[in-house]
């Protein structure tokens, strides 16, 4: 794998901009990528009698599109000549080979715990890319919370490629789309011999209109099936979203019927694994050859795993965690890791026969 250096520089920007988010790479493809960073303009300070002042920053996303890249190559880059703007990323390979990605979610609160999860993940080794299962912040409309998110995650995100999915706490906010330069709430991409699909499971925030919610879900489901049909030549298919179809949290069981209704589609098109958040713990299930993983232990208050579904439960534990998935040609290994770096769960399996 080659190492190349990119400079994204501007004399004016170097003096005028304060980088407060990123830089990070999104939409990494074999021959292109987008570098995104947030800059802070002015701030608004709100005061009320008997309450401490509250500051809300004005944030703006900057981006640049990089083209003409080489597959399976690590690039270093520098934004605006600043140390805060230095980063690196790897482009995906085109063919089967080794790669490793991390999955985590629900980092919206308990920022000290969020930092511990990030420290443990980095100590475990920088992944080629990251999937986020949603709830990056507690309120997507609050710009100050995005500053906190990027501050905690900067040491990870400036060294890898980032692929997020919407959680309910993003509230379908314009900030999510602007700050992460997302054009749609669902999308797909390829990495080596694997195909990845990000879904928007948060239909509650799509619209106040039930008709528009139903229309959105029908459109996304149609797109999902078409995308799965097109990806049947891939060795692996991974789906990730916020709300899981199965859970060991009693009060949440049956709460996501729209996601449970997708399970026959996952089975029909031979999804390898489906990765979720929303429940603040770790859960893994195996149903009809598909691995279902819940990794919502990124910082939000933990939930009990008090009623594991019968017949499909492999492992449930109420603790903070992140997950890594290693793909090596015909072999896949899924590991769950706690904040102390210890392994919570592991499963390894071979590529299924076509």
Mean pLDDT for all residues in the chain: 92
CATH number of the domain located at residue range(s) 95-350 in this protein: 3.60.21.10
Query: Closest by alpha carbon to 250, among 316, 307, 294, 319?
Result: 307
Contact between residue 61 and residue 177 where contact means Cβ atoms under 8 Å apart: no
pLDDT at 179: 95
Q: Where are the domains of the chain?
A: 1-91, 95-350
> Which of 39-48, 198-207, 271-280 is the least confident region?
39-48
Same fold: 1-91 with 95-350: no
pLDDT at 300: 97
3-state secondary structure of 8: strand
Over residues 31-40, the mean pLDDT reads 93
For 57-87, the pLDDT digits (tens) are 778 889 999 999 999 999 999 997 778 889 9
Q: Give the C-alpha separation, 339 to 320, whole Å.
A: 6
Task: Select the more confidently predicted residue: 249 or 96.
Answer: 249
For 302-326, the pLDDT digits (tens) are 999 999 999 999 999 999 999 999 9
pLDDT at 202: 97
Q: Cα 219 vs. chain centroid, distance in angstroms?
A: 22
282, pLDDT greater than 80: yes
Over residues 171-195, the mean pLDDT reads 96
Contact between residue 194 and residue 237 where contact means Cβ atoms under 8 Å apart: yes
Q: Cα 4 vs. chain centroid, distance in angstroms?
A: 26
pLDDT at 9: 45
What class is the 1-91 domain? mainly beta
Confidence of residue 353 (pLDDT cuts 50, 70, 90): low
13, pLDDT greater than 50: no
pLDDT at 351: 76
For 215-235, the pLDDT digits (tens) are 999 999 999 999 999 999 999
Specify the pTM.
0.91
Q: What are phi and psi of 168, to 5 degrees?
A: -70, -25
For 116-163, the pLDDT digits (tens) are 999 999 999 999 999 999 999 999 999 989 999 999 999 999 999 999
Mutual angle of helices 143-157 and 111-124, in 10-degree steps: 20
10, pLDDT greater than 50: no
């Amino acid at each position: 794998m080659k190492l190349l250096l990119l400079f994204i520089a501007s004399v004016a920007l170097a003096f005028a901009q304060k980088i407060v988010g990123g830089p990070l790479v999104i939409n990494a493809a074999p021959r292109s990528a987008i570098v995104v960073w947030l800059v802070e303009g002015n701030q608004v300070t709100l005061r009320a009698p008997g309450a401490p002042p509250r500051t809300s920053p004005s944030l703006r996303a900057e981006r640049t599109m990089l083209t003409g890249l080489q597959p399976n190559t690590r690039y270093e880059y520098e934004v605006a000549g600043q140390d805060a703007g230095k980063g690196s990323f790897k482009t995906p390979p085109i063919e089967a080979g080794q790669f490793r990605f991390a999955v985590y979610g629900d980092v919206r609160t308990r920022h000290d715990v969020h930092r511990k999860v990030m420290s443990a993940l980095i100590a475990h080794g920088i992944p080629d890319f990251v999937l986020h299962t949603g709830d990056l912040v507690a309120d997507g409309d609050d710009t100050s919370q995005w500053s906190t998110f990027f501050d905690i995650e900067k040491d990870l995100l400036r060294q890898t490629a980032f692929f997020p999915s919407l959680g309910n706490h993003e509230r379908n906010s314009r900030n999510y789309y602007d700050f992460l330069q997302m054009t749609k709430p669902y999308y797909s991409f390829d990495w080596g011999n694997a195909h990845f699909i990000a879904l928007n499971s948060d239909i509650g925030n799509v619209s106040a209109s039930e008709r528009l919610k139903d229309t959105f879900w029908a459109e996304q489901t149609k797109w999902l099936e078409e995308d799965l049909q097109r990806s049947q030549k891939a060795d692996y298919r991974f789906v990730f979203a916020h709300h899981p179809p199965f859970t060991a949290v009693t009060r949440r069981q049956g709460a996501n019927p729209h996601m449970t209704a997708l399970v026959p589609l996952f089975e029909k098109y031979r999804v390898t694994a489906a990765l979720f958040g929303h429940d603040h713990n770790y859960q893994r299930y195996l149903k009809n050859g598909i691995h279902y993983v819940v990794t919502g232990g990124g910082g939000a208050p933990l939930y009990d795993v008090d009623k594991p579904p019968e017949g499909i439960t492999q492992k449930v534990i109420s603790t903070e965690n992140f997950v890594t998935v290693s793909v090596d040609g015909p072999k896949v290994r899924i590991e769950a890791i706690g904040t102390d770096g210890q392994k919570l769960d592991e499963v390894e399996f071979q590529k299924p026969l076509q």
